[in-house]
């Protein structure tokens, strides 16, 4: 009996040791700094404020929009990985959508672009959502237009099957005709004909305000930032990763048939970190996610003797890498000064950031960890 007990004790001790080692290993987060190893100038392109999102395709081409205060539909610009070639995707020549508002866009592996817009229905005069498709050469494909009705789309992504994920808000009168409409989140998988494959109700999505809330009148006209600032990316595993913007981002992994595969609750690199970029997926390590954060740290500069001053908060940026299967944070990479916080690509080869020269010329900055 004593021998059996001793053996049992030893086995338990070994198992506990292995669990402790695994826990220690899984909680380890690599800390490093990114190094810019190549800067590619984009001739003939003047850099200005960028409009989210920034994308890239399988060939490393970058897709972006420059923010234009007087233009609700700045064209989408594709820049080749070497900075030499450019292609424009514009609504200006699309009949009936010259005044539409672009909410977001996504890119297929072969370089086609799907744009979600809000335009005015000429019959009802009400705002309605649409998905417009452009071929890789910038040509509009009128046969692929999908009508979304009164929904306000903010995210779009395309499955390898051809189905689309659409997410955003829709105005609903939940509390009767006497009360104002409120914004209600929606997420749907639709086919190329626009038919709904599946509607999803995502636990954790913001709830619409209630008439009993003290600030109901104000909030009833607002669209939740968790939705409007969110993002969605297609992945090589066949799923789409839909991110909700919050202090602790939530990512829903959704299959082509609308099945919710898993939910990832991501931990930021510090309590003061705030997400400032979109979501990026890479095949690295079997599938990884990247998010750029802005962090604030207390300065370590010495205080003047005899004088009290409030602590100085120093701003920095960090890109955090997460395991796409588990949501575990794997690495935090500090961004060096001057790299810019606009992450366009995350691939096994490294990161591509968008920046500018002192002469305001757009540049692509290729970076890797030290």
pLDDT in tens, 281-322: 999 999 999 999 998 766 555 555 555 555 556 678 999 999
Q: What angle do CA 353, 355, 358 make, to 5 degrees?
A: 160
pLDDT at residue 325 is higher than 50: yes
Give the pLDDT band of residue 214 (cuts 50, 70, 90): confident
| Ramachandran category for residue 345: left, alpha or beta (phi over 0 → left; psi -120 to 50 → alpha) | beta
pLDDT at 37 over 50: yes
Supply the pLDDT for residue 15.
40
Please indicate, yes or no, if residue 159 is contained in any of the structural domains: yes
Can you tell me the distance from the alpha carbon of 184 to that of 206, in angstroms, rounded to the nearest whole number? 8
pLDDT tens-digit map of 132-148 = 999 999 999 999 999 99
Report the distance separating Cα 52 and Cα 67, nearest Å. 9
Q: What is the mean pLDDT of residues 171-183?
A: 86
For the segment 28-49, the average pLDDT, to the nearest whole number, is: 89
Q: What is the pTM of this model?
A: 0.86
Cβ–Cβ < 8 Å for 277, 320: no
Q: Residue 155 in contact with residue 166, Cβ under 8 Å? A: yes
Q: 30-39, 72-81, 216-225 — which one is most confidently predicted on average?
A: 30-39
Picking from 314, 356, 338, 294, the residue whose alpha carbon sits closest to that of residue 35 is 338
- With respect to residue 1, please indicate whether it lies within any of the assigned structural domains: no
What is the 8-class DSSP label of residue 105? E
Are residues 29 and 329 in contact, defined by beta-carbon separation less than 8 angstroms?
yes
Q: Which residue has the tokens 């700045």?
A: 74
- Is 32 in contact with 369 (CB distance < 8 Å)? yes
Q: Is residue 249 part of a domain?
A: yes
User: What is the rounded distance in angstroms from the CA atom of residue 332 to the CA atom of residue 295?
Assistant: 12
Kind of pairing, strands 62-66 and 76-79? antiparallel
| Residue 18 placed within a domain | no
Q: How confident is the model at residue 19 (pLDDT cuts 50, 70, 90)?
A: very low
SS3 7: helix
**201 φ, ψ to 5°?**
-110, 115
Q: Is residue 303 part of a domain?
A: yes
Q: Are 155 and 205 in contact (CB under 8 A)?
A: no
pLDDT digits (tens, 9 = 90+) for 328-349: 999 999 999 888 779 999 999 8
In a 3-state reduction of DSSP, which class is residue 82? coil
pLDDT > 70: what percent of the chain?
85
How far apart CA 105 and CA 63 sit, in angstroms, is: 9
Distance of alpha carbon 332 from alpha carbon 319, whole angstroms: 6
Higher pLDDT pick, 44 / 368:
368
Query: Would you state the pLDDT for residue 121?
Result: 55
* Distance from C-alpha of 110 to C-alpha of 132, rounded to nearest angstrom: 16
Give how many domains the chain has, as a whole number. Answer: 1
Q: Mean pLDDT over all residues of the chain?
A: 85
184 belongs to a structural domain:
yes
Asked if residue 8 belongs to a domain, the reply is no
Q: Are 60 and 86 in contact (CB under 8 A)?
A: no
Residue 309: its pLDDT value, please?
57
Q: Name the residue range of residue 291's domain.
A: 29-369
Residue 74 pLDDT more than 90? Answer: no
Looking up residue 340, the CATH number of its domain turns out to be 2.120.10.30
Please tell me the distance from the alpha carbon of residue 326 to that of residue 264, in angstroms, as a whole number.
7
113 falls within a domain: yes
């Amino acid at each position: 009996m004593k021998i059996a007990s001793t053996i049992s004790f030893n086995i338990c001790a070994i198992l506990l040791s292995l669990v402790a080692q695994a826990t220690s290993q899984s909680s380890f987060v690599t800390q490093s700094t990114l190094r810019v190893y190549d800067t590619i100038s984009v001739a003939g392109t003047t850099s200005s404020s960028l409009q989210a999102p920034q994308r890239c395709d399988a060939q490393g081409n970058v897709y972006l929009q420059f923010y234009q205060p007087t233009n609700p539909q700045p064209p989408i610009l594709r820049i080749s990985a070497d900075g030499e070639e450019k292609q424009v995707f514009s609504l200006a020549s699309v009949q009936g959508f010259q005044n539409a508002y672009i909410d977001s866009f996504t890119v297929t592996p072969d370089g086609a672009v799907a744009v979600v817009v809000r335009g005015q229905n000429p019959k009802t005069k009400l705002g309605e959502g649409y998905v417009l498709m452009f071929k890789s050469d910038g040509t509009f494909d009128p046969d692929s237009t999908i009508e979304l009705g009164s929904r306000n789309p903010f995210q779009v992504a395309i499955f390898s099957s051809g189905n689309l994920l659409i997410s955003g808000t829709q105005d609903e009168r939940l509390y009767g005709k006497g009360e104002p409409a409120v914004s209600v989140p929606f997420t749907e998988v639709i086919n190329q004909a626009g038919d709904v494959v599946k509607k999803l109700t995502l636990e954790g999505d913001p709830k619409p305000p209630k008439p009993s809330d003290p600030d109901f009148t104000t909030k009833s006209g607002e669209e939740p930032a968790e939705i409007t600032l969110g993002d969605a990316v297609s992945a090589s595993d066949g799923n789409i990763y839909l991110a909700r913007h919050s202090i602790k981002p939530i990512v829903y992994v959704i299959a082509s048939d609308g099945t919710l595969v898993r939910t990832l609750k991501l931990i930021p690199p510090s309590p003061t970190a705030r997400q400032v970029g979109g979501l990026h997926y890479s095949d690295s390590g079997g599938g990884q996610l990247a998010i750029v954060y802005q962090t604030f740290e207390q300065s370590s500069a010495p205080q003047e003797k005899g004088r009290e001053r409030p602590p100085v908060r120093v701003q920095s940026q960090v890109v955090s890498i997460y395991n796409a299967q588990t949501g575990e944070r794997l690495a935090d990479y500090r961004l060096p000064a001057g790299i810019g916080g606009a992450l366009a690509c995350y691939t096994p080869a490294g990161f591509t950031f968008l920046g500018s020269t002192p002469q305001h010329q757009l540049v692509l900055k290729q970076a890797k960890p030290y």
